[in-house]
Each structure stands twice: as C-alpha cells, then as structure tokens.
Amino acid sequence: MTSCTDANTFIEDLAASDPVPEGIREHVTACPSCSARLQLAMRIETVLATRPVADPPAAFTNTVVSRIRNERWRAEQMLDLGFNVFVACGIALIAAGVAGLVWASGLVVFSRDVFSVLEAATASTLTTMAGQARTFLFAALLLTLALGVWWWVEQEDVTV
C-alpha cells in the first residue's frame, strides 16, 4: 500500500505530468494531504514558468564593446611602456659601455682641454639665449599644450 512518504517523492513528477509508479496517482487523488501537496507543486510550477524575464539595457552591447576597447588600449599602452623602458635600458647600457671604453682608452685626459673649450662656448651661447628667454618659454608652452591636446584626443578615441 502506498504511503504519503512514498507519494511525496513523486509529487514533482506528477506536477510535471511525468510517469510515476503504479498506485502513486491513485493515492494522491484519494489523500487530501498529498493532494494539497500536488496542488502546491503545480502552483510552484506555474509561478516558476511565468517568472518575468529581465531584458538587458538598450546600451548594453555598446557598453561592453567600449569596455573591451578600453581594456585593449590599456594593454597596448602597457606594452608600449614596457618596450620604451627596454629600449631606454638598452641605450643606457650602450652609453655606459662607450663611456667605459673611452675612459679605459685614456681619451679623458686628452679631452679635458676640449671640455674647457666646450664649457666656454656653452656659457657664451646661454648668455645670448637669455635675451630670448621669453620666446623660448612661449614655444615650450605651445609645444606642451599641443602634446596635451593630442593625448586628450587619443583618450577620447579610446572611450568612444
């Protein structure tokens, strides 16, 4: 004889109209408690099947693609930075090597007089340039502004 405990195992199968062992359906029909369980299970089935489906926002795809472009740009920036650091280290190594060779060859002693001449020439040039300091400062500001605008435009391109 089928018990309520046995029938309880197959309530969801009945609610989903799946086959159940012999005697279960008859027991559930005749037993008020099991019948109530089946009613609840069927209502649960209905509620689950009719739960609202949330739609993504209209701009979802654009936002995702934008984030990916941003991520890709940052990755390229890191790669560029790494490459530049590597090149700078290489140049520094080469320069140190050349300086070491020059030092070892004794050219420094000979070059001391050359340095004195260069120093005097530089001082003379700087004195002349001082008179045009404002022009040079303005040119430097313009160049910095142009570079800043270019960098800002690049940023805008990435985030669009």
Applying CB under 8 A, the residues found at the interface with other proteins are 4-5, 8-9, 11-13, 15-16, 32-33, 35-37, 39-41, 43-45, 47-49, 51, 53-57, 60-61, 63-65, 67-69, 71
**Minimal distance, residue 58 CB to other proteins, in Å:** 11
By C-beta, is 56 or 106 nearer to other proteins?
Answer: 56
Query: What φ, ψ does residue 23 adopt, rounded to 5°?
Result: 95, -25
CB nearer to other proteins: pick between 72 and 150: 72
Burial pattern 73-108, b for ≥16 Cβ within 10 A else e, equals eeeeeeeeeeeeeeeeeeeeeeeeeeeeeeeeeeee
Instruction: Pull the structure tokens for residue 23.
Output: 């005697």
Q: Between residues 1 and 133, which has the closer beta carbon with respect to other proteins?
A: 1
Q: How far is the CB of 132 from other proteins (least distance, A)?
A: 49
Angle subtended by helix axes 60-105 and 107-130, to nearest 10: 130
Nearer to other proteins, 33 or 77 (CB): 33
